[in-house]
Protein backbone atom coordinates (compact mmCIF):
# COMPACT_ATOMS: atom_id res chain seq x y z
CA UNK A 1 0.00 0.00 0.00
CA UNK A 2 1.26 3.45 -0.82
CA UNK A 3 0.23 6.98 -1.53
CA UNK A 4 0.11 7.82 -5.19
CA UNK A 5 -0.94 10.62 -7.51
CA UNK A 6 -3.18 9.49 -10.35
CA UNK A 7 -3.93 11.71 -13.34
CA UNK A 8 -7.60 11.98 -14.34
CA UNK A 9 -8.08 10.84 -17.95
CA UNK A 10 -11.89 11.19 -18.16
CA UNK A 11 -14.68 11.83 -15.67
CA UNK A 12 -18.20 11.28 -16.99
CA UNK A 13 -21.71 11.11 -15.58
CA UNK A 14 -22.85 7.76 -16.98
CA UNK A 15 -26.17 7.63 -15.10
CA UNK A 16 -27.94 10.38 -13.15
CA UNK A 17 -25.66 11.20 -10.20
CA UNK A 18 -23.25 8.36 -10.97
CA UNK A 19 -19.77 9.07 -12.35
CA UNK A 20 -17.10 6.93 -13.94
CA UNK A 21 -13.64 8.36 -13.44
CA UNK A 22 -10.68 6.91 -15.34
CA UNK A 23 -7.22 7.43 -13.94
CA UNK A 24 -3.72 6.73 -15.08
CA UNK A 25 -2.36 4.78 -12.13
CA UNK A 26 0.15 1.98 -12.75
CA UNK A 27 1.08 1.76 -9.04
CA UNK A 28 -2.40 0.50 -8.23
CA UNK A 29 -3.37 -1.36 -11.39
CA UNK A 30 -0.33 -3.63 -11.11
CA UNK A 31 -1.44 -4.94 -7.70
CA UNK A 32 -5.21 -4.65 -7.42
CA UNK A 33 -7.57 -7.59 -6.93
CA UNK A 34 -11.38 -7.48 -7.24
CA UNK A 35 -13.03 -6.29 -4.02
CA UNK A 36 -10.11 -4.14 -2.93
CA UNK A 37 -10.47 -0.38 -2.58
CA UNK A 38 -8.58 2.91 -2.49
CA UNK A 39 -8.88 5.86 -0.12
CA UNK A 40 -9.24 9.00 -2.24
CA UNK A 41 -8.63 12.53 -1.00
CA UNK A 42 -11.76 14.30 -2.19
CA UNK A 43 -10.98 17.98 -1.81
CA UNK A 44 -8.46 20.45 -0.49
CA UNK A 45 -8.23 22.04 2.94
CA UNK A 46 -8.63 20.75 6.51
CA UNK A 47 -12.31 19.83 6.13
CA UNK A 48 -11.29 17.24 3.53
CA UNK A 49 -8.66 15.53 5.71
CA UNK A 50 -10.64 12.29 5.75
CA UNK A 51 -10.28 10.34 2.57
CA UNK A 52 -13.24 8.49 1.00
CA UNK A 53 -13.16 4.73 0.35
CA UNK A 54 -13.99 3.70 -3.22
CA UNK A 55 -13.90 0.22 -4.73
CA UNK A 56 -11.80 -0.58 -7.72
CA UNK A 57 -14.29 -0.76 -10.57
CA UNK A 58 -12.19 -1.79 -13.54
CA UNK A 59 -8.61 -2.09 -14.63
CA UNK A 60 -7.41 -1.79 -18.18
CA UNK A 61 -3.62 -1.87 -18.46
CA UNK A 62 -2.39 1.15 -16.48
CA UNK A 63 -5.88 2.63 -16.31
CA UNK A 64 -7.94 2.41 -13.15
CA UNK A 65 -11.68 3.20 -13.08
CA UNK A 66 -13.77 4.15 -10.09
CA UNK A 67 -17.58 4.29 -10.21
CA UNK A 68 -19.24 6.50 -7.64
CA UNK A 69 -22.54 7.90 -6.55
CA UNK A 70 -22.60 11.57 -5.62
CA UNK A 71 -23.97 11.52 -2.06
CA UNK A 72 -22.11 14.30 -0.21
CA UNK A 73 -19.40 16.92 -0.49
CA UNK A 74 -16.50 14.49 -1.08
CA UNK A 75 -18.09 12.69 -3.98
CA UNK A 76 -19.44 16.03 -5.29
CA UNK A 77 -15.87 17.35 -5.38
CA UNK A 78 -14.72 14.18 -7.15
CA UNK A 79 -17.46 14.50 -9.77
CA UNK A 80 -16.10 17.96 -10.65
CA UNK A 81 -12.48 16.82 -11.07
CA UNK A 82 -11.45 17.68 -14.65
CA UNK A 83 -9.19 15.67 -16.95
CA UNK A 84 -5.54 16.35 -16.17
CA UNK A 85 -6.14 16.89 -12.43
CA UNK A 86 -4.01 14.74 -10.10
CA UNK A 87 -5.93 12.67 -7.57
CA UNK A 88 -4.26 11.70 -4.29
CA UNK A 89 -4.95 8.00 -3.58
CA UNK A 90 -3.92 5.51 -0.91
CA UNK A 91 -4.02 1.94 -2.04
CA UNK A 92 -4.59 -0.74 -2.71
CA UNK A 93 -6.40 -1.67 0.48
CA UNK A 94 -8.47 -4.54 1.85
CA UNK A 95 -8.63 -8.25 1.29
CA UNK A 96 -10.60 -8.75 -1.95
CA UNK A 97 -13.01 -11.43 -3.16
CA UNK A 98 -11.69 -14.96 -3.52
CA UNK A 99 -12.55 -17.06 -6.57
CA UNK A 100 -11.92 -20.75 -5.89
CA UNK A 101 -10.02 -22.54 -8.67
CA UNK A 102 -12.57 -25.38 -8.92
CA UNK A 103 -15.64 -23.12 -9.12
CA UNK A 104 -17.30 -23.09 -12.51
CA UNK A 105 -20.48 -21.01 -12.19
CA UNK A 106 -20.33 -17.72 -10.34
CA UNK A 107 -23.41 -15.76 -9.28
CA UNK A 108 -22.89 -12.05 -8.65
CA UNK A 109 -25.58 -9.91 -7.01
CA UNK A 110 -25.34 -6.10 -7.20
CA UNK A 111 -27.66 -3.66 -5.47
CA UNK A 112 -27.44 -0.18 -7.03
CA UNK A 113 -23.93 1.29 -6.87
CA UNK A 114 -22.86 -2.13 -5.51
CA UNK A 115 -22.12 -2.91 -9.16
CA UNK A 116 -18.84 -1.01 -8.63
CA UNK A 117 -16.54 -3.84 -7.43
CA UNK A 118 -18.48 -6.61 -9.18
CA UNK A 119 -17.58 -5.49 -12.70
CA UNK A 120 -13.89 -5.98 -11.89
CA UNK A 121 -14.71 -9.35 -10.33
CA UNK A 122 -16.78 -10.40 -13.36
CA UNK A 123 -13.93 -9.51 -15.72
CA UNK A 124 -11.40 -11.45 -13.68
CA UNK A 125 -13.72 -14.48 -13.48
CA UNK A 126 -14.31 -14.49 -17.24
CA UNK A 127 -10.56 -14.22 -17.79
CA UNK A 128 -10.17 -17.36 -15.67
CA UNK A 129 -12.75 -19.22 -17.80
CA UNK A 130 -15.70 -19.09 -15.35
CA UNK A 131 -19.38 -18.67 -16.24
CA UNK A 132 -20.70 -15.45 -14.72
CA UNK A 133 -24.30 -14.46 -14.08
CA UNK A 134 -24.77 -10.92 -12.77
CA UNK A 135 -28.02 -9.95 -11.07
CA UNK A 136 -28.40 -6.19 -10.94
CA UNK A 137 -31.15 -4.54 -8.93
CA UNK A 138 -31.94 -0.82 -8.94
CA UNK A 139 -34.92 1.40 -8.11
CA UNK A 140 -35.78 2.41 -11.68
CA UNK A 141 -34.56 1.70 -15.24
CA UNK A 142 -32.59 4.99 -15.55
CA UNK A 143 -30.23 3.71 -12.84
CA UNK A 144 -29.26 0.52 -14.70
CA UNK A 145 -25.53 0.27 -15.36
CA UNK A 146 -24.93 0.37 -19.15
CA UNK A 147 -24.57 -3.24 -20.32
CA UNK A 148 -22.07 -2.16 -23.00
CA UNK A 149 -19.57 -1.44 -20.20
CA UNK A 150 -19.73 -4.99 -18.85
CA UNK A 151 -17.01 -7.50 -19.70
CA UNK A 152 -17.98 -9.63 -22.72
CA UNK A 153 -19.49 -12.96 -21.74
CA UNK A 154 -21.35 -11.85 -18.60
CA UNK A 155 -24.99 -12.98 -18.44
CA UNK A 156 -26.90 -9.97 -17.10
CA UNK A 157 -30.29 -10.19 -15.36
CA UNK A 158 -31.87 -6.95 -14.17
CA UNK A 159 -34.59 -6.06 -11.70
CA UNK A 160 -36.18 -2.70 -10.96
CA UNK A 161 -38.32 -1.89 -7.95
CA UNK A 162 -40.87 -0.03 -10.13
CA UNK A 163 -40.86 -2.62 -12.94
CA UNK A 164 -39.54 -0.14 -15.54
CA UNK A 165 -36.66 -2.45 -16.60
CA UNK A 166 -36.20 -6.20 -16.33
CA UNK A 167 -38.02 -8.13 -13.59
CA UNK A 168 -40.16 -6.17 -11.15
CA UNK A 169 -38.92 -6.39 -7.60
CA UNK A 170 -35.83 -6.43 -5.46
CA UNK A 171 -32.60 -8.28 -6.15
CA UNK A 172 -33.33 -10.46 -3.14
CA UNK A 173 -36.57 -11.63 -4.85
CA UNK A 174 -34.53 -12.90 -7.81
CA UNK A 175 -31.72 -14.56 -5.91
CA UNK A 176 -33.41 -17.82 -4.86
CA UNK A 177 -34.17 -18.64 -8.54
CA UNK A 178 -30.50 -18.42 -9.50
CA UNK A 179 -28.74 -20.08 -6.59
CA UNK A 180 -29.08 -23.65 -7.87
CA UNK A 181 -25.99 -24.46 -9.88
CA UNK A 182 -23.93 -21.55 -8.54
CA UNK A 183 -20.63 -22.73 -7.09
CA UNK A 184 -19.99 -19.38 -5.45
CA UNK A 185 -22.08 -16.30 -4.71
CA UNK A 186 -20.68 -12.76 -4.42
CA UNK A 187 -22.57 -9.61 -3.54
CA UNK A 188 -22.24 -5.89 -3.07
CA UNK A 189 -25.07 -3.62 -2.03
CA UNK A 190 -26.60 -1.65 0.81
CA UNK A 191 -27.07 -3.01 4.34
CA UNK A 192 -30.82 -3.74 3.94
CA UNK A 193 -29.96 -6.00 0.97
CA UNK A 194 -27.49 -7.98 3.11
CA UNK A 195 -29.94 -8.19 5.99
CA UNK A 196 -32.53 -9.66 3.60
CA UNK A 197 -29.97 -12.03 2.08
CA UNK A 198 -29.06 -13.31 5.53
CA UNK A 199 -32.69 -14.54 5.81
CA UNK A 200 -32.74 -16.44 2.48
CA UNK A 201 -32.77 -20.15 3.29
CA UNK A 202 -31.35 -21.16 -0.12
CA UNK A 203 -28.18 -19.17 0.60
CA UNK A 204 -27.38 -21.02 3.82
CA UNK A 205 -25.57 -23.88 2.04
CA UNK A 206 -23.50 -21.62 -0.15
CA UNK A 207 -21.12 -19.16 1.52
CA UNK A 208 -21.71 -15.68 0.14
CA UNK A 209 -18.85 -13.20 -0.04
CA UNK A 210 -20.09 -9.66 0.48
CA UNK A 211 -18.40 -6.26 0.41
CA UNK A 212 -19.24 -4.38 3.59
CA UNK A 213 -19.40 -0.63 3.13
CA UNK A 214 -19.27 1.14 6.47
CA UNK A 215 -17.98 4.61 7.25
CA UNK A 216 -14.20 4.72 7.39
CA UNK A 217 -11.89 7.22 9.02
CA UNK A 218 -8.38 6.17 8.03
CA UNK A 219 -8.73 2.98 5.93
CA UNK A 220 -5.47 1.77 7.47
CA UNK A 221 -6.43 -0.03 10.67
CA UNK A 222 -5.48 2.93 12.89
CA UNK A 223 -8.69 4.67 14.01
CA UNK A 224 -10.91 1.61 14.71
CA UNK A 225 -13.82 3.62 13.29
CA UNK A 226 -14.81 0.76 10.99
CA UNK A 227 -14.99 -2.00 13.64
CA UNK A 228 -17.88 -4.46 13.28
CA UNK A 229 -19.02 -7.44 15.33
CA UNK A 230 -18.71 -10.84 13.66
CA UNK A 231 -19.06 -14.44 14.81
CA UNK A 232 -15.26 -14.45 15.04
CA UNK A 233 -15.10 -11.36 17.27
CA UNK A 234 -14.47 -7.72 16.44
CA UNK A 235 -13.13 -7.04 12.96
CA UNK A 236 -11.90 -3.91 11.18
CA UNK A 237 -13.61 -3.60 7.83
CA UNK A 238 -10.65 -1.74 6.28
CA UNK A 239 -8.05 -4.38 7.21
CA UNK A 240 -9.94 -7.65 7.76
CA UNK A 241 -12.47 -6.79 5.01
CA UNK A 242 -14.20 -5.24 3.24
CA UNK A 243 -15.04 -8.76 2.02
CA UNK A 244 -16.70 -10.97 4.64
CA UNK A 245 -18.83 -14.06 4.55
CA UNK A 246 -22.47 -13.03 4.82
CA UNK A 247 -23.06 -15.41 7.71
CA UNK A 248 -20.09 -14.16 9.74
CA UNK A 249 -21.42 -10.63 10.20
CA UNK A 250 -23.76 -10.02 13.15
CA UNK A 251 -26.26 -7.94 11.21
CA UNK A 252 -28.46 -7.02 14.17
CA UNK A 253 -25.41 -5.44 15.86
CA UNK A 254 -24.54 -3.29 12.86
CA UNK A 255 -25.81 0.30 12.88
CA UNK A 256 -27.24 1.78 9.67
CA UNK A 257 -24.85 4.20 7.93
Residues interacting with ligand FES, by CB under 6 A? 216-219, 221-226, 236, 238
Site string for ligand FAD, 36-55 (x = CB under 6 A): -x--------------xxxx
Torsion of CA 108, 209, 36, 137, to 10 degrees: 40
Site string for ligand FAD, 58-97 (x = CB under 6 A): ---------xxx-xxxxx----------------------
CB of 81 to ligand FES, least distance (A): 23
**Residue 72 contact among ligand FES, ligand FAD, none, beta carbon within 5 to 8 Å by kind:** ligand FAD
**Residue 219 contact among ligand FAD, ligand FES, none, beta carbon within 5 to 8 Å by kind:** ligand FES
Contact criterion met (CB below 8 Å) for 242 and 212: yes
130 to 103, 123, 126, 250: CA distances (angstroms): 7, 10, 5, 31
252 to 146, 184, 200, 230: CA distances (angstroms): 34, 25, 16, 10
Q: d(Cα 212, Cα 215) in Å, to the nearest integer?
A: 10
Interactions with ligand FAD, residue window 204-223 (CB under 6 A): 213-216
72 to 9, 177, 180: CA distances (angstroms): 23, 36, 39
Site string for ligand FAD, 115-154 (x = CB under 6 A): -x--------------------------------------
Q: d(Cα 40, Cα 154) in Å, to the nearest integer?
A: 29
How many C-beta atoms lie closer than 10 Å to residue 12's C-beta?
10
**Residue 92 contact among ligand FES, ligand FAD, none, beta carbon within 5 to 8 Å by kind:** none
**Residue 213 contact among ligand FES, ligand FAD, none, beta carbon within 5 to 8 Å by kind:** ligand FAD
Amino acid sequence: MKQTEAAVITNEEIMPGVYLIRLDCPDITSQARPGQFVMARCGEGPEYQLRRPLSIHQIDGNKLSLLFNVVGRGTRWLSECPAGEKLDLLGVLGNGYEIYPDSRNLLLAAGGIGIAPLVFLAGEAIRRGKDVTLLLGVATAGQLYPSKLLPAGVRLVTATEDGSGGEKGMITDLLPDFINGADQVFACGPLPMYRNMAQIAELKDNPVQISLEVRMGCGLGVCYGCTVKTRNGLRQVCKDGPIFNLDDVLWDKLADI
